A and B are shown apart, each in its own frame.
Chain A
Amino acid sequence: MSITLSGADWLHLFLHYVSLSLLAVGGAITTAPDMHRYLVDQQHWLTDAQFSASIAIAQAAPGPNVLFIALFGWHVGLNAGGLGTGLLGMAMSLVGILLPSTTLTWLAARWGQRNRELRAVRAFKQGMAPIVVALLVATSWILATGNQARLQDWPLWLLTAASALLVWRTRIHLLWLLGAGALLGALGWL
């Protein structure tokens, strides 16, 4: 896939991350559905396969899962040119998604600590809970079905459901599951 990004496009990409940063309540992964809508469906800067691979690689690697955002940027930059634009996309995405949220967190953490008994603080904290939980399930749905739900993808759905059940109900190490998924896929069973 090859695309052309103008300076305005880069700015647009950066500003989209900046605006999503403050909406990422409940973790960066909750912005994944919006990232898919924007990067894949609307702008066509990223393929569905690159989108899923970015999340899969970031989940398989150690460290915060937010690194999938860096990989989106890397792939967009790669589609727009080569190594240089890839690194630019990576840096831009990470700075964009982290700068507003970390600044706000730093400023708010002390204030929140001092005022944690305040009714408004508790209402915000608890009020967002149902939305945050639902966003996680929605993210999983979008990852499992991709752009359109296809019936012949049923083995993938089964694997998603099985790993969800295992992680939810048992203490199995995540690496075993990721390894099993990789093996099943490499053998061509999915």
Chain B
Amino acid sequence: MSSLPQGAAATPAEPRAQPQSLTDLFVSFTLLALQGFGGVLAVVQRELVEKKRWMTREEFVEEWAVAQIMPGPNVVNLALMIGDRYFGLRGALAALAGIMAAPTFVVFGLVLLYSQYAGSPMVAGALRGMGAVAAGLIAATGFKLFGALRKHPLGVPVCLFFGALCFVAVALLRLPLVYVLLVLGGLCCVLTYRRLAP
């Protein structure tokens, strides 16, 4: 797979796999969303890159970086960008609908089930337990992403400093997110800009 000669990009490539229609796009993203328990990203990578081969691993990483920078749910952004690439705005909407519609019904069903049994101490206890685990999953995602800061232009100590300030402001002082993002995030971006080579 990685042994393509240098000039390969210039020669007409064999027809790339791609979604056949808006329906194909919608169904693909629906199926993919329904497999993604606790987060869809891993499933998206496996399905679109390894099974369907709509995009190479490199393309996937590039698109994912943009999906992460932009505000909003990362996986939703990614679906939008992939859909747009093949069918423009209509494709973006089809992929967005695919990743949101079916899971919304599932979650709605679960919450209706929950409200039937919300008074039961067993259900309340089970949700307390799942809530504690969910909190752990989110922290673990943070820890995993922390590895990405190792090569940060500001250096690890400065990153740690701003990260700690952000944690104190949001978790302990409970300050509104908008000020934290504008002040701390803005400062980080300006400092990073000055460190990057022009």
Interface positions of A (Cβ within 8 A of B): 19-31, 33-34, 37, 41, 49, 52-67, 70-71, 74, 78, 90, 94, 97-98, 100-102, 104-106, 108-110, 112-113, 116, 119-120, 122-144, 156-157, 159-168, 174-175, 177-178, 180-188, 190
Asked if B130 contacts A134 (CB within 8 A), the reply is no
Asked if A123 contacts B189 (CB within 8 A), the reply is yes
CB-CB nearest 10 A-B residue pairs: A63-B103, A185-B129, A101-B72, A163-B136, A136-B142, A127-B189, A174-B38, A167-B140, A181-B133, A140-B139
Closest to A28 in B: B73
Among B126-154, those with CB < 8 Å from A are 126-146, 148-149, 152-154
Cβ of B125: which chain A residues have Cβ within 8 Å of it? 185-188, 190
Whole-angstrom distance between the Cβ of B143 and the nearest chain A Cβ: 5
B166 interface hit (Cβ, 8 Å): yes
Among A34, A60, A128, A178, the residue within 8 A (CB) of B188 is A128
Asked if B192 contacts A59 (CB within 8 A), the reply is no
Asked if B81 contacts A64 (CB within 8 A), the reply is no
Interface positions of B (Cβ within 8 A of A): 33-40, 62, 65-77, 80-81, 84, 89, 92, 96, 99-100, 102-104, 106-108, 110-111, 114-115, 118, 121-146, 148-149, 152-154, 158-160, 162-164, 166-167, 170-171, 174, 176-178, 180-181, 184-185, 188-193, 196-198
Cβ of B69: which chain A residues have Cβ within 8 Å of it? 25, 112, 124-125, 128
Asked if B129 contacts A181 (CB within 8 A), the reply is yes
C-alpha spacing A188/B77, complex, angstroms? 40
**Given pairs A60-B110, A123-B196, 9 additional interface contacts (CB within 8 A):** A30-B177, A37-B176, A66-B76, A70-B107, A136-B142, A137-B171, A164-B136, A168-B139, A185-B128
Asked if A102 contacts B77 (CB within 8 A), the reply is yes
C-alpha spacing A174/B115, complex, angstroms? 24
Known: A28-B73, A106-B89, A134-B167. A129 touches B148 (CB 8 A): yes
Cβ of B140: which chain A residues have Cβ within 8 Å of it? 163-168
C-alpha spacing A67/B102, complex, angstroms? 11
Known: A123-B193, A131-B166. A178 touches B142 (CB 8 A): no
Known: A61-B37, A65-B73, A128-B189. A52 touches B139 (CB 8 A): no
Cβ of B107: which chain A residues have Cβ within 8 Å of it? 57-58, 61, 63, 67, 70-71
Asked if B111 contacts A57 (CB within 8 A), the reply is yes
Closest to B174 in A: A37
Known: A63-B33, A136-B138. A190 touches B76 (CB 8 A): no
Asked if A143 contacts B135 (CB within 8 A), the reply is yes
Cβ of B171: which chain A residues have Cβ within 8 Å of it? 33, 137-138, 141-142
Closest to A55 in B: B134
Closest to A31 in B: B177
Asked if B190 contacts A127 (CB within 8 A), the reply is yes
Cβ of A138: which chain B residues have Cβ within 8 Å of it? 166-167, 170-171
C-alpha spacing A153/B122, complex, angstroms? 17
Asked if B36 contacts A63 (CB within 8 A), the reply is yes
Among B37, B138, B192, the residue within 8 A (CB) of A140 is B138
Known: A63-B106, A64-B103, A134-B142. A21 touches B152 (CB 8 A): no
C-alpha spacing A175/B35, complex, angstroms? 12
Cβ of B160: which chain A residues have Cβ within 8 Å of it? 130
Cβ of A31: which chain B residues have Cβ within 8 Å of it? 177
Asked if B38 contacts A59 (CB within 8 A), the reply is yes
